[in-house]
């Protein structure tokens, strides 16, 4: 199936009992058994729930995987991946990460004996040179949050596996979605999503997802999901399934609007640098062009007046772009990373990679583009 068909039909079948075209919300915690241990495939909803099962099959289908897993949040999905490791193991991650991921790595799992290295993945040698006998996981975020850096997924995987084939590779595919790139096709072991964002698409749920195509890895992840219990509920699973069905058409508009906003900002006299992988002068443009089908709806930029005061004034003047956490919904959102999503990262570390007071991250929605550009222009001027 082509992607636009797969988001509607992939892994999905009419519900058996009634023929319902849309999977029902099985709002139940437990299931009747005809004899101890004898049931219809469901015993307790922490282990499995029919609505969540339908979602997990859809997630696997759109990422070209064999097994999907839905969690209570994106961070719960990352937590599951890290539980595959043991004390003393080492993780190599990119130097530009979502603040919540960085916080989990440094403030939680370092206490439990994991070690983390942060490298600039623009240079693949930075990754391979950091590998030691204890390295067990490479964590790739691409495009990165918030600086829109692009990692060459296939080359990183090939280079890492050449050093040690047992090292796991994982990609946070939240910004791209499977509409733009499918990391499993590029050799990655695990794909992660904050399904809160584009997968759900309507800012009405919080959810995470993992997709793999390895049977043994799937068994390990399912055990952790079941034993730790950070599962997605049936109502959120229903909403995410609904969101997946319109992912293709939504992403088309997100990409169109994102490109128009990036070009507008690039030509505005009050804007300094614009971070958008669709520009030919973006340092990773050719990689993005190679591994992504388009360039997405996320755009970051800095004002020429690099002060918190000027940035706050701009953000407070927006009318259609809502100042809020998160991204990927149908509505346009504006974010100030220093005080919002990346506030947990120490200032010295933020400044080192370029997250300054004037950096703004936009999640460009699917509204009329003229209205969005007028809103940005008024707020800037």
Q: Which of 6, 52, 96, 98 is catalytic?
A: 98
Q: Which of 197, 259, 302, 361 is catalytic?
A: 197
Measured CA to CA, the distance from residue 91 to residue 135 in angstroms comes to: 6
226 phi, psi to nearest 5 deg: -70, -45
DSSP 290-331: HH-SS--SEEEEEESS-SHHHHHHHHHH-SSSEE-S---SSS
DSSP 62-99: HTT-SEEEEESSHHHHHHHHHTTS-TT-EEEEESS--H
90 phi, psi to nearest 5 deg: -125, 140
Percentages helix, strand, coil for the chain (3-state, rounded to 5) are: 40, 15, 45
Q: Which of 172, 236, 248, 357 is catalytic?
A: 172
CB neighbours of residue 123 within 10 Å: 10
Closest alpha carbon to 170 in 98, 78, 101, 89: 78
317 phi, psi to nearest 5 deg: -90, -10
Task: State yes or no: is 197 an active-site residue.
Answer: yes
Instruction: Give per-residue burial for 207-228: e unless 16+ CB within 10 Å, then b.
Output: bbbbbbbbeebbeebbebbeee
Q: Which of 31, 46, 161, 253 is catalytic?
A: 46
Beta-strand (E) ranges in 173-327? 190-194, 208-212, 271-275, 298-303, 322-323
3-state SS assignment for residue 355 = coil
Measured CA to CA, the distance from residue 53 to residue 72 in angstroms comes to: 14
Question: What residues contact residue 135 under an 8 Å CB cut-off, 6+ apart?
Answer: 89, 90, 91, 92, 164, 167
Measured CA to CA, the distance from residue 41 to residue 260 in angstroms comes to: 49
Task: State yes or no: is 31 an active-site residue.
Answer: no
Task: State yes or no: is 83 an active-site residue.
Answer: no
Whether the CB-CB separation of 10 and 62 falls below 8 Å is answered with yes
Task: State yes or no: is 308 an active-site residue.
Answer: no
Measured CA to CA, the distance from residue 153 to residue 290 in angstroms comes to: 10
Query: Which residues are part of the catalytic machinery?
Result: 46, 98, 172, 197
């Amino acid at each position: 199936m082509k992607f636009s068909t797969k988001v509607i039909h992939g892994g999905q079948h009419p519900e058996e009992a009634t023929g319902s075209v849309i999977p029902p919300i099985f709002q139940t915690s437990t299931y009747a058994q005809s004899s101890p241990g004898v049931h219809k495939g469901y015993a307790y909803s922490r282990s499995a729930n029919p609505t969540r099962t339908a979602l997990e099959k859809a997630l696997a289908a759109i990422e070209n995987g064999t097994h999907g897993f839905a969690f209570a949040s994106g961070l719960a999905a990352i937590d599951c991946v890290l539980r595959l490791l043991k004390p003393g193991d080492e993780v190599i991650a990119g130097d530009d990460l979502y603040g919540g991921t960085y916080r989990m790595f440094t403030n939680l799992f370092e206490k439990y004996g994991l070690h983390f290295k942060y490298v600039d993945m623009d240079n693949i040698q930075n990754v391979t040179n950091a590998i030691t006998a204890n390295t067990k996981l490479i964590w790739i975020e691409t495009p990165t949050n918030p600086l829109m850096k692009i990692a060459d997924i296939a080359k990183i995987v090939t280079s890492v596996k050449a050093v040690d084939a047992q090292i796991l590779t994982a990609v946070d595919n939240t910004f791209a979605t499977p509409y733009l790139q499918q990391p499993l096709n590029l050799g990655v072991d695990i794909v992660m999503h904050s399904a809160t964002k584009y997968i759900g698409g309507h800012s009405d749920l919080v959810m995470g997802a993992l997709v793999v195509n390895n049977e043994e890895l799937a068994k390990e992840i399912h055990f952790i999901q079941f034993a730790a219990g950070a599962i997605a509920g049936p109502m959120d699973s229903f909403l995410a399934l609904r969101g997946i069905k319109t992912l293709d058409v939504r992403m088309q508009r997100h990409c169109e609007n994102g490109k128009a906003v990036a070009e507008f900002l690039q030509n505005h006299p009050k804007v300094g640098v614009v971070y958008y992988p669709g520009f030919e002068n973006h340092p990773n443009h050719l990689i993005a062009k190679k591994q992504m089908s388009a360039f997405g709806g996320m755009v970051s930029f800095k004002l020429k007046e690099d002060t918190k005061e000027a940035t706050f004034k701009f953000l407070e003047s927006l009318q259609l772009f809502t100042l809020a956490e998160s991204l990927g919904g149908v509505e346009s959102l504006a974010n100030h990373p220093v005080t919002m999503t990346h506030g947990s990262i120490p200032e010295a570390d933020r400044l080192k990679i370029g997250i300054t007071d004037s950096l703004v991250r936009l999640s460009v929605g699917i509204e009329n583009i003229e209205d969005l550009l007028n809103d940005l222009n008024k707020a800037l001027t």
